[in-house]
Structure 1
Amino acid sequence: MVYTRKNVSTLTPTERRRFVNALLTVKRRGEYDEFVRTHIEYYTPDGEQGLRAAHMAPSFLPWHRKFLLELERALRRVDASVTVPYWDWTRDRTARSVPWTADLLGGNGRASDRQVMTGPFAYGAGHWPVKVNVTDGHFLTRDLGRARSPIQLPTAAELEGALSDPVYDVAPWDSTVGRGFRNKLEGWGAGRGSVSWRNHNRVHRWVGGLMVGGASVNDPVFWLHHAFVDLQWTRWRRRHPGARYLPAEPPGAGDAQHDRVVARHERMPPWDVTPHELEDLSDVYRYE
């Protein structure tokens, strides 16, 4: 049976409570921290050697689609009514809007150390210790809007700039490409600082704290953000019905990207699944 992922702003109080409770249960069982470990392991920049599956590569979208689906399956083993909601950051754009409420994800971090003090994921509540991290911090941190150097969330017009590109991705299939839907959505741009952060990337920076870097999964907003990113891939495919995941074939032996990116029919680690098999999951879930 096909289930529905909803806009987080439309969730009822009961739906909010059940979603939060499922997350806390998965965390208590130790499953959640395995998701954090996986993301850290596959957070490979294109300046390093080896295969890039999760970031700075064409498989950014199918990798996170599968990752999101695995978390959702864990939640639904706890409560079959739960699905991962999406956060439309083109509409809910302030630190006082959803999902930053006490009954959902809690609010911003305090000024002194950016520790989140409100909501079910605050360290003081005792249910969300950060056990897997790239630093020695043990509590959830946020810096919504970057107080010392403010930035804004991406706009609908900026998102449209990605959706309107009819080509999925282009060579050299990395963070430097200026064309293609994938990188325009993932958000690696030219220059330094805030001007180089677009769409997906700028949202991570806007949230700040643990959402910046490989350990970003420690903040539950990661899933709401990536559900919205996943929705954009669905919308892009509807708008460009003849377009497909690229590259269709692996880069050849003489190519600098040989063995560094996942082609359409290649298996994508750490799962035994191809981007082709993940292009259409309309028989599994839909978006409201």
Structure 2
Amino acid sequence: MVYTRKDVSTLTSAERRRFVTAMLEVKRRGEYDEFVRRHIDYYVSDGDGGLRTAHMAPSFLPWHRCFLLDLEQALQRVDPGVSVPYWDWTRDRTRTSAPWTKDLLGGDGRSSDRQVMTGPFAYAQGKWRIKEGVTDGDFLMREFGRPRKPIQLPTRAELKAALEDPVYDTAPYDSTTTRGFRNRLEGWGHGTGNATWENHNRVHRWVGGHMLGGASVNDPAFWLHHAFVDLQWTRWQRKHKGARYLPERPPGSRDSQYRRIVARHEKMPPWGVTPASMEDHSHIYRYA
């Protein structure tokens, strides 16, 4: 049966409670930390050798679609009626709006150490201890807006600019790519200040704390953010009928991206599925 991912601001109190309960149970079972480890393992940058799939590559979108589906399946093993809601950061832009309420994700970290003190994922609640990370510390951290060097969430106009690009991705298919929907959405910018990080990337930096870097999955906000990013891929496909994932074919042996990115019909680790097979999700879920 096809299920629905809803805007987090529209969830009822019961739906919020069920989502939180399922997340905490996946954490208690030890499954959640496996998701954190996987994201750390696949957080490969341009400067590293070998294959890139999760970031700085065309497969950014299908990789995270698979990742979201895995988490959703784990949640549904706890409660079949739960799905991942999405956070529209072009609209819900304040520190107290959804999803930062006490009955959902909790709020900002305190100024002294960025520790999240409110909500069900606060360390004091005893159910959300950080076990897998790139820094020390057992508690979840956030730093909304990066007060010492302020940064703003992306605007509707900035997201629209990415959606307007009719080409999925272009050479060299990495963080330096200046054209194509994928990097305009992923957000490896080339300016200064806020322009250094665009759309997806800037949201990670606005939330701050654990949302920075490969261990960002430690913050449950990761999933709501990526559900909204996933929705943008769907919207882009609707806007540009017939547009497909690129590259269609693997780069040649003389290309700098040879064996470093996944072409449309190549298998994408760790699932062994192709980006082409992930282009249509209508048989699995839909967006409200």
TM-score by length of 2: 0.99
**Per-residue Cα deviation, 1:222-257 (whole angstroms, up to 9, x for no partner):** 000000000000000001111000000000001010
Q: Which residue of 2 aligns with 1:222?
A: 222
Shift of 1:272: 1.4
Following the alignment from structure 1 to structure 2, what is the Cα–Cα distance between the partners of residues 192 and 136?
30
Instruction: Confirm or deny that 1:131 pairs with 2:131.
Output: yes
The question of whether the paired residues in 1 share the 8 Å contact of 2:8 and 2:99 is answered with yes
Q: Which residue of 2 aligns with 1:249?
A: 249
Amino acid paired to 2:26? V
Q: Which residue of 2 aligns with 1:238?
A: 238
Taking only the aligned residue pairs, the percentage that are identical comes to 73
Amino acid paired to 1:160? K
Following the alignment from structure 2 to structure 1, what is the Cα–Cα distance between the partners of residues 86 and 158?
18
Shift of 1:146: 0.9
The question of whether the paired residues in 1 share the 8 Å contact of 2:152 and 2:194 is answered with no
Instruction: Confirm or deny that 1:199 pairs with 2:199.
Output: yes
3-state SS of paired residue (1:96)? coil
Amino acid paired to 1:209? G
Amino acid paired to 1:230? D
Following the alignment from structure 2 to structure 1, what is the Cα–Cα distance between the partners of residues 162 and 87?
18
For residues 73-92 of structure 1, the aligned pairs below 5 Å read 73-92=73-92
**Per-residue Cα deviation, 1:44-89 (whole angstroms, up to 9, x for no partner):** 0011111000000000000000000000000001001100000000
Instruction: Confirm or deny that 1:164 pairs with 2:195.
Output: no
Q: Which moved more, 1:70-79 or 1:190-199?
A: 190-199
Following the alignment from structure 1 to structure 2, what is the Cα–Cα distance between the partners of residues 51 and 192?
29
Amino acid paired to 1:18? R
Shift of 1:11: 0.2
For residues 83-102 of structure 1, the aligned pairs below 5 Å read 83-102=83-102
Following the alignment from structure 1 to structure 2, what is the Cα–Cα distance between the partners of residues 205 and 193?
12
Following the alignment from structure 2 to structure 1, what is the Cα–Cα distance between the partners of residues 258 and 131?
36
Following the alignment from structure 2 to structure 1, what is the Cα–Cα distance between the partners of residues 146 and 107?
14
Amino acid paired to 1:136? D
RMSD of aligned Cα (Å): 0.7
Following the alignment from structure 2 to structure 1, what is the Cα–Cα distance between the partners of residues 211 and 55?
15
3-state SS of paired residue (2:45)? coil
Shift of 1:193: 4.5
Amino acid paired to 1:27? K
Shift of 1:150: 1.3
Q: Which residue of 1 aligns with 2:183?
A: 183
3-state SS of paired residue (1:4)? strand
Following the alignment from structure 2 to structure 1, what is the Cα–Cα distance between the partners of residues 47 and 240?
31
The question of whether the paired residues in 1 share the 8 Å contact of 2:151 and 2:194 is answered with yes
Shift of 1:194: 2.9
3-state SS of paired residue (2:242)? coil
Consecutive unaligned residues in structure 2, runs of 5 or more: none
**Per-residue Cα deviation, 1:209-228 (whole angstroms, up to 9, x for no partner):** 00000000000000000000
Consecutive unaligned residues in structure 1, runs of 5 or more: none
Shift of 1:138: 1.2
